[in-house]
Amino acid sequence: MGLDAKVREVLDQFKAAAVPKLWEIGPQAARAVMKSRLLNGKETPIGKVEDRTMPGPAGDIRLRVYTPVGVGDVPVGERDAEVRVGNAPADASDGPLPGLLFFHGGGFVIGDLDTHDDLCRCLANGSGCRVVSVDYRLAPECPFPAAVEDCLAAVIWVDAHKQELGIAGDLAVGGDSAGGNLAAVVCQLAKAAGPRIAFQLLIYPVTQLGQPDMPSMRDNAKGYFLERDGMAWFTRMYCPDAAHHGDPRMSPLLAKDLSGLPPAYVVTAGFDPLRDEGIAYAARLDAAGVPVTQVNYPGMIHGFFSMRGLIPKAREAVAASAAAVRAAMVAE
């Protein structure tokens, strides 16, 4: 299958705008570019949004807690009312709900709570979960393993404060790209030390860094939003010391034993340099006896979940991922 026509339009817009390469402009400018690239529609209605902080390994960590609108099984995007951040319509659920911790993408360098605000709203509404988005420390200011330490601390803290946060049962974790890496790593670490995690949502995850290229990295090296040179730059920013590149906390695909991990839903995209490592991680989970669903969107590119305003297939994929979380957490 070829590149989706709407994706091609988005890529053509980037090309026409002469958007600079991230590795040519440095982290601070790259963060501004990422925000300018977000192609969402109008703000997604949500029941309630609350900004909080929690103590972390190196200082306070910001959290953003999303309570879904109380609309049952109405598909994401079918409500027309404008609801601003902080507003709580009458149908917002205030009772205990399943919880999903979300770790944003951005190569460990350029994402934040705001870049993934719309996606978290959609996941909350579609899954029926209270979503807690984690503003972990970024590289290069705070290189590996700072992000891992923050995300694991967030899982432990949220699990210990579930009653206060209105969360019922064991937590799910999820993330996109670098956030998918962190979600996978946290599941591996929590298997040994707790807390119990019920489900993992891995959206085009990074599962190996500083390792030999897989075919999709070579085939999609340039021209499809995320590029091979960009991944090399992210890797240098996140972990400049190559001696750590074989650490499973950096490359979860390298872990020796994946048995006993939470059920997983793994999303990949056909024109993503990371496609094959996401598929490889899903295959290893399956071989280890972990229930796993692996869904590939052949005409899509890396980052397409954050482009749902212009790409219909992205809206479909976000809704399907949210439904998978809902099904898993209801069963839990």
pLDDT at 1: 77
Q: Which of 180, 168, 39 is nearest to 95 (CA)?
A: 168
Query: What's the pLDDT at 38?
Result: 59
Q: Per-domain residue ranges for the chain? A: 5-331
Position 43 pLDDT exceeds 50: yes
Q: Beta 99-103 vs 59-67: how paired, if at all?
A: unpaired
Amino acid at 293: T
User: Is 181 a residue whose pLDDT tops 90?
Assistant: yes
| Residue of 118, 159, 176, 177 marked active site | 177
pLDDT at 332: 64
Q: Which listed residue (272, 276, 306, 321) is catalytic?
A: 272
What are the pLDDT digits (tens) for 273-317? 999 999 999 999 999 999 999 999 999 999 999 999 899 999 999
Q: Averaged over 134-154, what is the pLDDT?
A: 98
For the domain made up of 5-331, give the CATH fold: Rossmann fold (3.40.50)
Check if the beta carbon of residue 131 is closer than 8 Å to that of residue 66: yes
Q: Are 262 and 198 in contact (CB under 8 A)?
A: yes
177 is a catalytic site residue = yes
Whether pTM > 0.85 for this model: the answer is yes
Tell me which of 112, 302, 306, 321 is the catalytic residue. 302
E strand or H helix at 61, and its extent? strand 59-67
